[in-house]
Structure 1
Amino acid sequence: MAEQNYPHEVIEDLMQYFRPDIGADFEKYRNHVYRVFLNCILQDSNAANVEKYAIAAVFHDIGIWTDHTIDYLPPSIDQLRKYLAENGKDALADEIATMIYWHHKISRYRGKFELVTEVFRRADWADVTFGIIAFDIDAKASSHYRKMLPNKGFHAFLIKKLVLNFLKNPLKPLPMFTR
């Protein structure tokens, strides 16, 4: 079961690194990160991909806090590339950056790194929609993760950020969405 990957050392280390940036939102973001990560593992438990999912889960929204923006995909990817370069993992940069860039895509992702990108996209959508859009993710396990790692206001936090962005940028209300 995916839960054997919880807690995950890479996630824990990265979350502690970003804790000063995340501040009061730490627990709500950490829980979201883990729910997305565990939803990935439910779909693809290939050991070669587990660390990629862990890294992508931490970095996919991190630009919200590091760059104080709702247009967070570019800064999240910049943070990812910096981390990978500093840790000798440059070979993973394009693959994980693709996962992050396309994680809000509404339709199926097709292209380079298709498997991991699609798994990650589905995992995030399943969490953001409280399992309403669940794809082929085990509903019972995903529900268990939502109970084990409660929302703590993460969705309310995102809605507030989106409303504020809309008031500032009505012509670009959802800058993080890709086609």
Structure 2
Amino acid sequence: MLTALPLLDDVLEHHAAQLGRDFAAYRNHAYRVANFCCVLAEMHGRRVDDDVLRAISIAAAFHDLGIWTDGTWDYLPPSRRRAHDWVHAHGHGHCDWQVDEMIGQHHKLTAYQDDTLVETFRLADLADVSRGLVAGGIPRAFRREVFAHYPNEGFHRRLLHFSCRHLLRHPLNPMPMLRW
């Protein structure tokens, strides 16, 4: 189990003020997604080397961050923009395309065909958001270990709050982040 991802932590520390009281909840969500993504990537034959772990860490840190940084439920564009700016500012531009796709496609309702890591990131987020009900093949024992080590801290309750608030303001577009 991954317990220390310095890139992920650096990004989140930089945005701690914007995350506010949701810092621990979002950090734990990002760590759960990163852990699930690594396991799924290996299950799909992808070796998790330093480059893969770098992409996973950056994508996990930024994938939902626009909710807090930009105050919007339509958070994929600002999350992608912030990730793009960060990878180029910190010398990680070589992983920009993959990180952008991991963030931009993580709410795709159908499988992503063009890149294994993008698809495993999508499945990892789904496993976490569904609290393991849609596990994508992640072993139950590992899910339990990760959920125990990185508790929810109210993350799902906050998502429900944000989604209800958006629904009241935009009833014809309740889930703008979903992709086909």
TM, length-normalised to structure 2:
0.94
Deviations 1:108-158 (A, max 9, x none): 1112xx111001000000000010000111221011111111101100100
Partners of 1:148 and 1:90 in 2: CA distance: 32
2:134 is equivalent to residue 137 of structure 1: no
Aligned position for 1:103: 106
**Pairing 1:42–2:39 present:** yes
The counterpart of 1:16, out of the listed 13, 16, 22, is: 13
Residues 1:56 and 2:59 are matched in the alignment: yes
- The DSSP-based 3-state class of the residue aligned with 1:98 is helix
Q: Percent identity?
A: 34
Letter in 2 for 1:67: D
**Pairwise CA distance, 1:56:** 0.4
Provide the residue aligned with 2:127 in structure 1.
126
The count of corresponding residues between Structure 1 and Structure 2 is 174
Matched, 1:82 2:119: no
| Number of the residue aligned with 2:45 | none
SS of equivalent residue, structure 1 residue 174: coil
Cα distance, 1:79 vs structure 2: 0.4
Aligned CA RMSD, in angstroms, stands at 1.0
Secondary structure in 2 matching 1:171: coil
Question: 2:162 is matched with which residue?
Answer: 161
In structure 2, the gaps of 5 or more residues are 43-47
Instruction: Say which SS state the counterpart of residue 132 (structure 2) adopts.
Output: coil
Tell me the amino acid that sits aligned with residue 153 of structure 1. G
Which secondary structure state, in structure 1, belongs to the residue aligned with residue 179 of structure 2?
Answer: coil
**Cα distance in 2 between the residues matched to 1:139 and 1:25:** 27
Distance 1:142 1:107 in 2: 23
